[in-house]
Amino acid sequence: MSLPPFFSQSTNPHVLCVTGGLTGIGRAISLLFLSHGASVTINYFPGHNVNDEKLMSSMRSEGLQAIKSRNANSTITNDSEVPLLCIPGDISQQETSTSLVSQCVEKFGRLDTFVSNAGICKFEEFLEISPESWSRHRDTNLSGAFYAVQAAARYMSSHGGGSIIGISSISALVGGAQQCHYTPTKAGVLSLMQSCATALGQYGIRCNALLPGTIRTQLNEDDLKDGSEKKTYMEGRIPLRRLGEPDDMAGPALWLAVPELSGYVSGSTILVDGGAFVNFQ
């Protein structure tokens, strides 16, 4: 049985903002929040995907379907009414986050939950990682998270607080032979959420980190394609015996956004990995 919507679409709807929200984990989180009555703003990096316009169009239609499937009485009846704002921008640049939060608040009147999700990961041998590749991963994954979280916190600190969620990774806790430029950035996101929890609690802002395990997204679709030895190997290491899907991340994000469910949770590290981290034996 599907849960009823957590948020009201008619009176002061919950407002979510997500970086990297056009695909993968960010998209799944956005669609789940839409289905629960939230208004959603997403950031995306223009030209990074094959067809941005098609992805935005399909997201609106999927959003409408998600809304109607959870609330048959919703007054939203067509794609154009879906409360979704899509804003292009390079999250590694500070002004992108400042503008993102500003446009979100201008459109929807508030900001309740912010998810710093945007990230890149290109598998490379450590000895072959160029300074340019290192800088690109650091600037997008870590500097981008810092700028985004700071922009959200500056608004929330003077508007009653909110929930900030950093999408870190199981890679913040364990090494990856072809991820030496990636794992440090995700450890940084985890540390950022822990420090922000202590810095921002006085403003009523809760900061938590979600650590996905092996989630099938556009970042690893070639590496974990069906029938590959690596996919079989990874599934064998996971106690739940399957790879994660973006939807597996959306529920925990929703839980962290709802004060009635997680209002005393801040500074937490939540693994969403099917049990992979604890499966040493």
Which residue in the list 168, 171, 262, 266 is annotated as catalytic? 168
φ and ψ of 11, to 5 deg: -120, 115
Nearest alpha-carbon partner for 133 in 185, 88, 97: 185
Q: Is residue 107 annotated as part of the catalytic site, yes or no? A: no
- Distance (Å, rounded) from C-alpha 78 to C-alpha 184? 43
Nearest alpha-carbon partner for 124 in 181, 50, 74: 181
Contact between 60 and 79 under an 8 Å Cβ cutoff? The reply is yes
Structure tokens at 38: 């939230």
Q: Is residue 186 annotated as part of the catalytic site, yes or no? A: yes
Which residue in the list 30, 97, 163, 186 is annotated as catalytic? 186
Which residue in the list 92, 182, 262, 266 is annotated as catalytic? 182
Tell me the three state secondary structure of residue 207: strand
Q: How far is CA 91 from the centre of its chain?
A: 13
Q: Is residue 231 annotated as part of the catalytic site, yes or no? A: no
- Distance (Å, rounded) from C-alpha 253 to C-alpha 171? 19
Q: 60-95 burial string, b = 16+ CB within 10 Å, else e? A: bebbbebbeebbeebebeebeebbbbbbbbebbeee
| DSSP 8-state class, residue 22 | S
φ and ψ of 164, to 5 deg: -115, 130
- Residues involved in catalysis: 168, 182, 186
